[in-house]
Chains A and B, each alone.
Chain A
Amino acid sequence: MNKHLLAVAGLFLASTAFADGHANTLTVYAPDYFGSEWGPGPSIEAAFEAECGCDLVYQTGDVLPRLLLEGQNTEADVVIGLNTDVTKKARESELLGDHGVDMSALTLPIDWTDETFVPFNYSHVAFIYDNTKLDGFDSFEALLDAPDDVRIVIQDPRTSISGLALVLWVNAVYGDAAEEAWARLAPKILTVTQGWSEAYGLFTDGEADVVLSFSTSPAYHIIAEEDLTKSAAIFDEGHYFFVELAAKVATTDNADLADQFMAFILTPEFQSLIPTTNWSFPAALPQDQWPEGFQTLPQPEKVLFYSEDEAAALRDDAIEAWRAAMSR
């Protein structure tokens, strides 16, 4: 009996025993999707390990809550996958250090000079629809004017990062009239989901006609499924910019490796892995080097973006406008 117990206990421990904090191990906190075998994590790990001769280990899960819970004692050397709408909290924790990376390689549609966060991919928040069933919408106004039997599914801004980006987008387009805009959209909202996955599942199941996602979502269907029926509606008013970031942890005892990884993020090697694993635009790769399905994706002419201070200041009111209008 005891032998069996030991064997089970051994199973639990063995999987992590050799992942301890050796000097030659770089611990990266990453969101769940990033570290999964279908995300960009594994191929980036392989590419970096070949370069550094070290061991890169992901700890996946809720990056920011975990970092903040652990505080100074965190074993993270690098965190990746944060978004500007929540970085203010991360910066104020003073747990993150300067990255010191040369940012000249960036190819973002906006200027980026931040000393703490390095962007590694971007996209635009957008509504996706089936182009065999709908004609699409060329503006936010057109979406608000759409008949009420067009059923839209969105994510909750209180539990989802893309949901939060949407309320900031509406705020950027409509300002003080945001609540009114939400009231016009409300009859068409089929439902609100906790996260992106559930909403996108409702869309692919045919339960919803339109889903809040990203301008790069059609690339997955085009490249992985050879399905050309999914399109992003590109709005004249512009699209909210969605950028994902990485940062070095200030208390890292592996500063050299962490620096090496931060610099690696903007190399073509890392960047070329992004499109077809993260299904988003690389942050530092000229457009002519993107995969074919990405080069032809329609992109908005105008990009709307709130800095982290603006986003933090606007957030509560933007969510409240959404909640008030949707609860009527």
Chain B
Amino acid sequence: MIRALPGVLSAALVLLLTLGTLAAVFLRADVGSGLSAADWAAIRFTVSQAVISALLSVLFAVPVARALARRQFRGRGALITLLGAPFLLPVIVAVIGLLAVFGRNGIVNDVLGLFGWNVSIYGFHGVVLAHVFFNLPLATRLILQGWLAIPAERFRLAATLNASVWRMLEWPMLRLVAPGAFLVIFLICLTSFAVALTLGGGPRATTVELAIYQALRFDFDLGRAALLSCIQFGLCVVAALVVWRMSIVDAMGAGLDRVVQRWDLNRPIWDYGMIACAALFLLLPLGMVVLQGLPGLFELPQSIWAAALRSILVAVGSAFLCAGMSLALALRGGALVAVIGVLPLAASGLVVGTGAFLIVFPFVRPADVALIVTMLANATLALPFALRAIASAVADVQADFGRLAQSLRLTGWAWLRIVVLPRVRRPLGFGAGLAAALSMGDLGVITLFAGQAQETLPLAMYRLMGAYRMDAAAGAALVLVGLSLALFWIFDRGGRANVDM
């Protein structure tokens, strides 16, 4: 019984912040207007770039995850954490890093320039490149988890039978895991906006989210914003249905948690080559952010540390909340939870912020609850990632040990403590880390709410830029990246202490 109430509460909060905020915006709207030709162009662009970005992210992630699953080497854990970094970067910081590598004066063009060539990052391919940069880490992590979930006994069996590990184990696992990873990344790219605009090179790269921004902040056309937000949810539902139809049932079975031994590890060069390529692609821009930020560290004002502390508090709060909600929802399970698990991905952060503002305004001063609302919203927006990681682990535990537990009458807290938690702490830590890092870099919800004394770190960085202090802003970006990564690392580490990954 202990599972029911927290699950219901979590579901209610997610629904309130996604569909509830949308309803609040709708109720406040005047007459809605229809969609223009430009809107349809935006919808077409949004969907096509999201499909291609998600496909490529998953496609590239498979060999990288495979290599990481097959090889053990010194610093592998640290590398896996570091490779996750781009996903955690605030958009604006990631763009700076990408341009330092692929931009007009970037490293790539410096090298190509020696041969008299140059490439432009701006255009459809630039949008896709940026989205792959952001999402390859997530795809790799999700698929790697699939790999690590194959029980050691299966590899033994395959080796005994001299069967193809790829055909018997890895391909079925991918068919199970990859569609979900594709869906998540498709939905992330669906609500992208500033990256698409900047690297897309202009209005051809207009996304639905940009149209929502315009409607909310510029035209004050709430009806239009709500309509566009509905379209995003609609796209989300269609994508989810398609993916679920493709999904298959897991038949891997339970294992005894032995250390995996592989008998099929020839050709190490291919694996290490993949890891090196991924590391280069993902870490070079990150390195440039660090390099450009170092001089700015000395120009940072004192107030940045108060802002950083505020951001950390919000991030840690979101992390615990998000992990707790995910676990509660995962334990409840069922189709509704699956829907709730993807809803926040399709939610526009801007609509969530505006709707939340409309909901709280009649009761309290929005500035008084700015940080709490930010925490709740960030926990909700990060929930799909945490839930995706946790739900499959919980489902596995239930499938593998449910009957045994039932026969032992192991229920309630005891079941949770003895069986579930030890087995899901890895995804739990991962999910909490993601929530913390994503919350750290969030700028969306706070802008409507913030009072005078509630500057968060991303807001401080943006203010520095707005005041011409680009060097100091780069320094703030570095602090932000460092703190995001550190928080992620701490949670993720806590989740897999003594666990081989």
Contacts and interface: CB of A to CB of B under 8 A. Distances in A.
Contacts of B358: 69
Interface string A31-42: 011011111000
Interface string B202-223: 1110000011011011101000
Contacts of A197: 462, 465-466
B38 A15 contact: no
Nearest to A75: B365
B204 A191 contact: no
Nearest to A221: B468
A16 B462 contact: no
B180 to A, nearest CB: 31
A68 B104 contact: no
B202 A326 contact: yes
A59 B202 contact: no
Contacts of B194: 193-194, 198
Classify the interface of chain B: helix, strand, loop or mixed: helix
B201 A192 contact: yes
B105 A192 contact: no
Given A202-B99, A207-B104, A327-B204, A59 B367 contact: yes
The size bracket of the interface on B is: 35 or more
Contact of A159 (B105, B217, B368, B469): B217
The size bracket of the interface on A is: 35 or more
Given A59-B367, A200-B465, A32 B210 contact: no
Given A156-B203, A191-B201, A62 B465 contact: no
Given A151-B104, A190-B201, A322-B203, A65 B448 contact: yes
B217 A39 contact: no
A73 interface: yes
A327 B203 contact: yes
Given A58-B452, A89-B220, A193-B197, A32 B447 contact: yes
Contacts of A207: 99, 103-105
A101 interface: no
B467 A193 contact: no
Given A16-B367, A193-B197, A201 B96 contact: yes
Given A16-B453, A32-B459, A65-B217, A220 B198 contact: no
A37 B435 CA distance: 29
12 contacts: A16-B368, A33-B463, A35-B452, A36-B455, A61-B449, A158-B214, A194-B198, A205-B103, A206-B105, A207-B104, A323-B203, A326-B202
Interface of A: 8, 11-13, 15-16, 19-20, 32-33, 35-39, 57-62, 64-66, 68-70, 73, 75, 86, 89, 151, 156, 158-159, 164, 186, 189-194, 196-198, 200-202, 204-208, 217, 220-221, 224, 279, 320, 322-323, 326-327
